Amino acid sequence: MGQTRLYLVRHGEQDPTAGHAPDGGLSPLGREQADRLGRRLRAVPFSAVHCSPLARAAQTADIVGGHLPRVPRHHCEFAADRTPVPSPRHRDLYPDRWLPWLDSVPDEERDEDAVTLRTAVEHFGVTGEEDRCELLITHNFVIGWFVRHALDAPAWRWIGLNQANCAITIVQWEPDRPATLVSFNDTGHLQPGGPAAIRR
């Protein structure tokens, strides 16, 4: 039986003039981050690239895809920007100090009891006969949820797991074993003299 390895990447830096607008694209730094990411990943045998439909993630995927010309990529609703929030009956699972902030999450970003994110984990975290390696270009809280899952941490523990723009987190699944966190928030390719710079 094969293993599944999922690379999770937060999009590049968004153009600061766009605020938090869903159609806000990448800043010049964000485009440079995405290019460095693509060079770092170009030797990884990905079978697919899944990306959030929001502009900052889609643009990141386009730049990374330039370094992965044979790998199919598409917009994926499982990669969309979501914030797990507790339903009224599960509010006691979250520390009281976080509840006012969670109550303020816009309706379009709310994922009550992480129903969609749990489905995303089930969708990607399957193994088959062959090894599989896929790339998910997404958002901070989505990656935090996958990390929380891999660590079997409490439902609220995705809070505070902050991903750098275009950093790499890897979660792996093997048959009959729980998920494993292989790496978290790897930014080596974004640093001067890092792996991406060496391979210029």
Q: Is the pLDDT of residue 94 over 50?
A: yes
Contact of 79 with 56, CB cutoff 8 Å: no
Please report, as a single letter, which amino acid is at residue 50.
Answer: H
Cα(127)–Cα(174) distance, integer angstroms: 7
Domains of the chain: which residue ranges? 4-194
Cα(8)–Cα(94) distance, integer angstroms: 25
Place of tokens 């990141």: 60
Q: Is the pLDDT of residue 198 over 70?
A: no
Per residue in 110-154, pLDDT (tens digit) is: 999 999 999 999 999 999 999 999 999 999 999 999 999 999 999
Contact of 120 with 143, CB cutoff 8 Å: no
Nearest to 131 by CA among 172, 93, 77: 172
Average pLDDT, the chain: 93
Q: Is the pLDDT of residue 195 over 60?
A: no
Residue 197 pLDDT level (bands cut at 50, 70, 90): very low
CATH number of 4-194: 3.40.50.1240
pLDDT of residue 8: 98
Per residue in 147-169, pLDDT (tens digit) is: 999 999 999 999 999 999 999 99
Residue 194 pLDDT level (bands cut at 50, 70, 90): low
CA distances from 35 to 84, 133, 172, 189 (A): 30, 20, 25, 10
